[in-house]
Structure formats: structure tokens, C-alpha cells
Amino acid sequence: MGKTLVYLVILAVLGFGIYYFLFSNHTGTYSEAEAGFQVRDTAAIGKIFIVSNDGESVTVERTDSGWVVDKKYKALQSTLGLIMTTLTQQAPLYPVTKNAYETVVKTMSTDGIKVELYRRNGEKMKVFYVGGASVNNTGTNMLMEGAHMPYVVQVPGFTGYITARYTTRLTDWRDRTVFNIPPTEIKTISVQYADKPINSFDITVNGDSVDVKADESLMKGLDGRNSRRAKVYLHYFYNVNCEGYLNGLSDMDTTIKTAPKQSTIDVTGIHGQHQHADIYWMALNKRSKNMSTTNPDVPDDYDSDRLYAVINGGKDTVMIQQFAFRNIFHKAYEFFQKDNVRPAAPAAHDSSRSKTNVLMHKKS
């Protein structure tokens, strides 16, 4: 009986030890050189270099004007924020098992991602390699440069592997701004609708005065300019983003050349800013909601949720959402109606595709 009790105690201790080793967060038991994957002070980071085994790479650097990608693009804050959070949280759970060692190292040598971190003064901070998912898919295989053993690394509270966070695709890192001029800095706005020129308009800001010009035949049949609506409209060009870049996609150049233009938009600022976008209709596709339900704001031949846009002087083709641009796609007549009149196209002008927005109405 006594021996049995001793055996049970020994088994309990061994069981607890195995559990603790495999599942507890005990990063302090591993040396920095072997498993120092965490960066507790990300403010010290001055540059991040990520490269995959196929040669695709991205360099993200801290500058006086913010983080820059590959020395010419503003960094996307959501991607940057995610990588910084990951660096502070990723913790080693345990070394990979002996049985998995060869497979993990071989896979990492062919499909791994190398991450180099540098301090603000250019000094190398640390280098590690990111592999694929651990055997149970709850962690990520990672290896410190110069270490003897890969480790299974996990972000607390996250089940899965974090390899995808260390993306080398430039489009994942680039800022997606289309328009971003504060209302107090806007000088002019021009919205020209290719399919319905009668709805086009130009706005000029002179101090506290906001002037709207539209087709003379349209203005004759409407009330005087609604200054409040014109001033509110200036707010719609601050922090307007695209959904993603389409550069390099097969046949995209041909698609844009053959797609009907929806509009051309130009915005200038008092500090010399000029942001331009050519907007094109996207053909109806299997994902289009208006395949089954007609959208009165969009012709039936085109997607009701998304459009194409060519920005940055014609260098970039992007996808934009109707939802993000709905405030911009107002029509000329809406600036010549009283606040107690709900914006709606006069019978003679594009009554099928009017746009409304709560900010265009007088607040109660």
C-alpha cells in the first residue's frame, strides 16, 4: 500500500512537470539567445526587414514623417500595429520535439521567413526565422539566428499560427489612402461624372465662403446655393481609403481600358496637395449583391458594392467600396436644395440614382 502511494505521488509529479513544460508560459526558463522572440519595447525598433525564401522582401523604416515602406510608400497602420503587437506578445512555449526537429528545420529552410529587427541607431537588434504551424496547429515554429533548436511560439489568447502576420507582400504593407486632406485645408474639389455630366460640380473655398458651380441649365431650376451642405461636403475627403491594390493582376490593364468610367475626382489643398482618382464601374460578377436585388443607385450591369480606381498619377489600380465613397458621390443638384428638402433628383435629372446622406440634412 505504501509503495503504491509512492508510485502515485511520483506519477503525479511527473504529470504536472510534463503539463507545465508543454503548456505553461514559462519563457524565463529559456535564454534570450535561444528563444528571445519577444520585443518588449517596440519603440526602440527603427527598421524591420522581412524576406521570404523566394526572394520577396519588404523593408519598413521609422522616419521623421512616420513609417515608410521600401523608402517610398507610407506604411499601412493596421499592418504595422499588428506586427508590433505580435512582437511584444509572441512567447516560446517549448522546443520542438526530437521527432519533429528534422521536418521543422527542413520546412523552415525551404518555406521560412527571415525577420531582421534594427534599433533606431541602425544597430541590429535580433534576427529570427518564422516557419509554419506546429504539429497541433496552435503555435508557430520559430528559430532564433544562431540558436540550436526551433521553438513552438504562441501569442497568448490566440489559437493558430502567426506566419501570415510576417507578410512580404508590398500590397499588405502599403497605406491605402485615396483622399486625405483635412476640410480646413481644402482649396478646390472637382467631381465630374462621365455617364451623367449634369450631376458634375466644382467647389472652390475662399476663406469662410464655399462656392459651388454646376451646369447652368441645372442651376436655373433649383434654389440658391446651400452653403451648409457645401461646407459639410468638405469633410468627406479626409481619410478615405481603398480596399486593396490590384497592381500586377492578370488582364487588369485590359479591364480598366474597357471598363466604363464612372467619374473623375480632383481635390487640391492650400499647401499644394493634389489628389486625383479616375473611377470605373466594375462589371457584374458572382459576388455582386445586385445579381438578385436591384440597387437603384447602380446600373444593373455593374457591381453595386465595388468599383475600380486609378490613383497616384496612374501608377496604381485599386478597388474601392461604394460604402466608403458614398459621401463623395453626391450630385450637383443637392447643393442647391433647402435643408428641409430631402435630396432627390428632379424628374428631369437622373432620378434613378440619387445619393443621400444624413450630414447633408439640417440637424433637428
- pLDDT band of residue 341 (cuts 50, 70, 90) is low
pLDDT at 289: 60
The 3-state DSSP class for residue 106 equals: helix
Summarize the confidence of residues 304-327 as an average pLDDT: 95
Residue of 256 and 348 predicted with greater confidence: 256
Torsion angle in degrees (nearest 10) through CA of 154, 160, 162, 164 = 170
Beta bridge pairs of residue 277: 265, 311
Residue 342, pLDDT > 70, answer: no
Residue 325, pLDDT > 50, answer: yes
- pLDDT band of residue 354 (cuts 50, 70, 90) is very low
- pLDDT band of residue 16 (cuts 50, 70, 90) is very low
The percentage of residues in the chain with a pLDDT greater than 90, rounded to a whole number, is 70
Residues 87/38, Cβ–Cβ less than 8 Å: yes
pLDDT at 339: 81
pLDDT at 135: 86
- pLDDT band of residue 359 (cuts 50, 70, 90) is low
C-alpha cell at 127: 534576427
Residue 108, pLDDT > 70, answer: yes
pLDDT at 24: 45
pLDDT at 22: 43
C-alpha cell at 343: 435630396
pLDDT at 4: 60
The 3-state DSSP class for residue 217 equals: helix
In whole angstroms, what is the distance from residue 211 CA to residue 226 CA? 9
- pLDDT band of residue 5 (cuts 50, 70, 90) is low
In whole angstroms, what is the distance from residue 197 CA to residue 333 CA? 12
C-alpha cell at 362: 439640417
Residue 86, pLDDT > 80, answer: yes
Q: What is the pLDDT of residues 220-270, one digit of tens each?
A: 766 678 999 999 999 999 999 999 999 988 899 999 999 999 999 999 999
pLDDT at 19: 44
Q: What is the pLDDT of residues 26-46, one digit of tens each?
A: 444 688 889 999 999 999 999
pLDDT at 65: 92
CA 72 to chain centroid, in Å, comes to: 17
